[in-house]
Amino acid sequence: MPETVLHLHPGMPEASLRPMRERYELIEHSRASAEAGPLPEADRIRGVVTIGVIGIDRALIDRLPNLGIISCYGSGYERIDVAAAKARGIAVTSNTGANAACVADMALTLLLASVRRLGEGDRFVRAGQWTRPAAPPSLISTGLAGRRVGILGLGSIGEKIARRAAAFDMEVGYHNRRPKPGVPWAYHDSLAALAEWADILVVSCRSDASTRGIVDRAVLEALGPQGHVINIARGEVLDEPALIAALEAGTIAGAGLDVFEHEPQVPEALKRLENVVLAPHIASMTEAAHREMCRMTIDALDNFFAGRPLTNAV
């Protein structure tokens, strides 16, 4: 008899869903439908699969009396009530590192697009404004070589961002809660100090109560009028109203955003701005990353159901 698993990620690719359906009795719901509607299988459910931006709260956890594991399909788990799970002895796992390479790639993609004004150039061509052989001086931008990139959060993703930035001959610095041993980049003991030093701030830290809104008006002012901010972490880490004001006023030069505070809603003010590049949270959307996240999610469930140790427990 297969184990029963509640699946709360309606956007999961079919290639990832198929092996889960083959292995488990998969009960597929959106989080809203699971919370509001009947769950006749509740007593049988021993596992939950969700993602960080959907999560699972205490109320739904409490409806599942035999729940033993919550497996997060992805590295972030900010909307999983970990405290409620642990109070019941429920294991929580995440896929840390599974998408690190492609998220780091996206950070550099947004960095290049923002600094080199790629979005503005694209719109310029599409609007039929390119009427002379040479592009207009208004699209002149700074390069990357020799510029300073500050990384907020030097975890598995942040470290890969640092290595990619170094390959562009950029000077790299970072801020963590504490220095990371064995890395060649300069540690800054506060976010304010990092922003003051950097030309480009890349946000790659975990989202939790301690980091909510941490990139605020003061940080953006420290970054300065030639500065750019890139966010591939979570929208809640960056103070969106402060960012919009900074972009409108020229307090910073530009931004590249893959995440937003109230996804999928994006502020109209951001959509109107020329100096920001917007993406719909696609940093982890590669085939290779999804294969690895699927493998790690299934491994976590299989290990739990077989009584084996969990290698990626939160």
Q: Is 176 exposed, middle or buried (0-12, 13-18, 19+ CB in 10 A)?
A: middle
Taking every pair of Cα atoms in the chain, the longest distance, rounded to a whole number of angstroms, is 70
Domains of the chain, residue spans: 4-94+287-306, 99-278
On the question of a common fold for 4-94+287-306 and 99-278, the answer reads yes
pLDDT value of residue 109? 98
DSSP 145-213: TT-EEEEE--SHHHHHHHHHHHHTT-EEEEE-SSPPTT--SEE-SSHHHHHHH-SEEEE-PPPSTTTTT
Locus of tokens 């497996």: 71
Q: Would you give per-residue pLDDT tens digits along the chain (314 residues)?
A: 899 999 998 888 999 999 999 999 999 887 766 676 778 899 999 999 999 889 999 999 999 999 999 999 998 899 999 999 999 999 999 998 999 999 999 999 999 999 999 999 999 999 999 998 888 898 999 999 999 999 999 999 999 999 999 999 999 999 999 999 999 999 999 999 999 999 999 999 999 889 999 999 999 999 999 999 999 999 999 999 999 999 999 999 999 999 999 999 999 999 999 999 999 999 999 999 999 999 999 999 999 999 999 989 99
pLDDT for 32 equals: 65
> Catalytic residue positions?
234, 263, 281
pLDDT at 33: 66
pTM score > 0.85 for this model? yes
Yes or no: domain 99-278 corresponds to CATH 3.40.605.10: no
Which CATH architecture best describes the domain 4-94+287-306?
Answer: 3-Layer(aba) Sandwich (3.40)
